[in-house]
Amino acid sequence: MKGPLDRSKVVLRHLPPTISQSMLLDQVDSRFAGRYNWFCFLPGKFSQKHQTYSRAYIEFKRPEDVIEFAEFFDGHVFVNEKGTQFKTIVEYAPSQRVPKHWSKKDGREGTILKDPEYLEFLEFISKPIENLPSAEIQLERKEAERAGSAKDAPIVTPLMDYIRQKRAAKSGARKSIANGRPTRRTNGTSAGSPSSSASKRSSEKRRASTTMYVLRDSSKAGSGKDKTYILAPKRDDQQRAEKSGTSASGSVANAVEEETGMPTL
């Protein structure tokens, strides 16, 4: 670590926020030109609420120059365009290190004209620009390619094959059921025994319901051996017959009245 008399880097604080690097260098070079090795200026910020002072770091060649610089600029007053005064402070820099300049030369410097990628790029940009075909031409080309190219066979996965087989089995079972239904009906109608017998029974019941047997003469029929029966219609048929008889007799009476002109009793 350097001693207090060996330190050569100082910081100049409380500079006006609006001062520029060129303005500060003009004042420093007026008395210390060629007597420092390194100079760094950090501008400040000025706003209505808060302002940040500018500052400068300087490394001198000899420690004696540091003392002379401090005697001149420590307490020096800078005045801005508005008349505001800024009193500067000179201090030793907290860090006496100075960034080193990179002096090593790059081996690829100046070889870009020999670089193959760069030469390829130059060749590419030197070619004439080819305009793309219009949208209609591109569509025609695509349609021609689709028409000329053979259609690829559809890809059938094992799952698709299994589903197709299952559907085919279901459709075959439905067809067999549909084919078996009419045969059962024809067989049922051809058998004829249950349906025909039922129809015959119903017709016999209807015939039996319309007719009934009545004793011919109840007074003479004393014994069971001499009983005789006659076929007579039911009450409904009798009522219908009576209605038809009365209507027929009424029509006959009306006809007689019309012919004779006399009312009938």
Could you report the per-residue pLDDT of 36-79, keeping only the tens digit for each?
A: 999 999 998 877 778 889 999 999 988 888 888 888 888 888 88
SS3 assignment for 2-34: CCCCCCCEEEEEEECCCCCHHHHHHHHHHHHCC
Domain positions in the chain: 9-92, 215-253
Q: What is the pLDDT of residues 73-117, one digit of tens each?
A: 888 888 888 888 888 989 998 888 888 877 777 888 888 989 999
What whole-number distance in Å separates Cα of residue 66 and Cα of residue 36? Answer: 9
Q: In this predicted model, what pLDDT tens digit does every residue of 189-237 receive, in sequence order?
A: 444 455 555 565 665 555 555 555 555 554 444 444 555 555 555 555 5
Q: What CATH class does 9-92 carry?
A: alpha beta
Contact 13, 58 (CB under 8 A): no
- Please give the model's pTM, rounded to 2 decimal places: 0.39
What confidence tens digit (pLDDT) does each residue in 142-198 have? 888 888 765 666 788 889 889 999 999 988 888 777 776 654 444 444 444 555 555
